[in-house]
């Protein structure tokens, strides 16, 4: 057999020649059309097996006017947070016979490039996770294409937003620390241009106010949703020499970076400082100490995003999406406060 021939896509004409039938017969067998006699059907299927034929799904779908493809934009492909979300999206798409195309983006320019790439592939809809584009910019780019957002904050339309009770989760995290006896609670927030970070900070403030504790802006340090930024934010907080016995971090990755910074300064978690995260990533149960955190149901968020999106794509009327609870998961990184010894700490040599 000519090795060059194997590199070319097998067509219905190749199958017809191999099976000794007409191309029309092959098409009827492959697409479940009119009845075909048993012997001819068997010959076609044997030719398909021998030639290792794989249908061009994209071409078939486009011929029907739909790509049967959904685009997913992620802010990055490094963070483990997004893995469960992708799993939920894929699981829901699989049950509907849809395919997934993914593109990563960082910053508004990267997000626009990712959207342009997915839209150029004629996707039937878009799931947008996080993101830096404004509502107006987003609407201008994707106009006419159904979309939903996840972990992005408000876009002015709850029928397109998969929501989590971020404010309630932030309040639960701070309330847990207050009930343990902490009165000096710092907050390492996510980027305050991000709606979810703002909601979590608002919940933290509400818990302080409900307990009669004053809000101290000096104990709030803005961060990115990653470990390196969490470490840097904690170093900044320690450099102020302000007293605190607990920290509510805006994400588990911020919390993990903060714990490393505390360890470098000879501070024990939770003996000296209690730490609460947000997200309940897989590693939260296995880090040292296991992290008390607020759980985001990321797999379920991905499934809900697909259900909402395909309702729009099928011409259904968008309806308000469900709002997912964010329960507190108490583990070993929080305890009653010990003696305050943060002022004047120095990194280990």
pLDDT per residue as tens digits for the range 38-52: 898 899 889 988 988
Q: Give Cβ neighbours of residue 221 (< 8 Å, ≥ 6 apart).
A: 186, 187, 188, 189, 233, 234, 236, 237
If you compute the radius of gyration of the chain from its CA atoms, what whole number of angstroms results?
27
In the chain, domain spans: 3-55, 67-163+299-316, 166-297
Summary mean pLDDT of the chain: 87
Angle at 70 between CA 69 and CA 73, to 5 degrees: 140
CATH architecture for residues 3-55 = Orthogonal Bundle (1.10)
Please state, in angstroms and rounded to a whole number, the distance separating the CA atoms of residues 105 and 83: 15
Q: Give Cβ neighbours of residue 46 (< 8 Å, ≥ 6 apart).
A: 19
Asked if residue 104 lies in contact with residue 127, where contact means CB atoms within 8 angstroms, the answer is no
Q: Give the confidence band of 5 by pLDDT, cuts at 50, 70, 90.
A: very low
Asked if residue 99 lies in contact with residue 84, where contact means CB atoms within 8 angstroms, the answer is no
Q: Does domain 67-163+299-316 have CATH number 3.40.50.2300?
A: yes
Identify the CATH number of the domain defined by range 166-297.
Answer: 3.40.50.2300
- Specify the range with the lowest mean pLDDT, choosing from 73-77, 157-161, 178-182: 157-161
Please report the pLDDT score of residue 344 as a whole number: 47
Strand partners, 187: 220, 248
Same fold, 67-163+299-316 and 166-297: yes
């Amino acid at each position: 057999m000519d090795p060059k021939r194997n590199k070319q896509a097998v067509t219905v004409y190749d199958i017809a020649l191999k099976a000794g039938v007409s191309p029309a017969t092959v098409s009827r067998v492959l697409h479940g059309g009119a009845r075909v006699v048993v012997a001819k059907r068997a010959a076609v299927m044997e030719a398909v097996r021998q030639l290792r034929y794989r249908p061009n799904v994209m071409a078939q779908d486009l011929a029907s006017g739909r790509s049967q493809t959904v685009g997913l934009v992620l802010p990055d492909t490094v963070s483990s947070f997004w893995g469960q979300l992708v799993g939920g999206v894929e699981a829901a798409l699989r049950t509907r016979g849809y395919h997934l195309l993914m593109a990563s983006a960082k910053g508004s320019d990267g997000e626009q490039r990712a959207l342009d790439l997915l839209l150029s592939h004629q996707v039937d809809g878009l799931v947008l996770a996080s993101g830096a584009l404004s509502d107006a910019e987003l609407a201008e780019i994707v106009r006419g294409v159904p979309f939903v957002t996840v972990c992005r904050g408000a876009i002015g339309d709850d029928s397109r937003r998969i929501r989590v009770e971020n404010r309630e989760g932030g309040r639960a995290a701070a309330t847990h620390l207050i009930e343990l006896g902490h009165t000096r609670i710092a907050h390492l927030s996510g980027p305050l241009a991000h709606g979810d970070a703002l909601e979590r900070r608002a919940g933290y403030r509400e818990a302080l106010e409900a307990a009669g504790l004053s809000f101290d802006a000096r104990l709030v340090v803005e961060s990115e949703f990653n470990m390196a930024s969490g470490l840097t934010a904690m170093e900044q907080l320690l450099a102020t020499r302000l007293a605190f016995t607990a920290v509510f971090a805006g994400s588990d990755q911020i919390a993990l970076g903060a714990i490393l910074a505390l360890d470098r300064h000879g501070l024990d978690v939770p003996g000296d400082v209690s730490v609460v995260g947000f997200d309940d990533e897989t590693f939260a149960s296995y880090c040292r100490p296991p992290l008390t955190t607020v759980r985001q149901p990321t797999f379920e968020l991905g499934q809900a995003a697909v259900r909402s999106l395909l309702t729009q794509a099928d011409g259904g009327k968008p309806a308000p999406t469900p709002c997912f609870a964010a329960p507190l998961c108490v583990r070993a990184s929080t305890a009653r406060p010990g003696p305050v010894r943060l002022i004047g700490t120095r990194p280990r040599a």
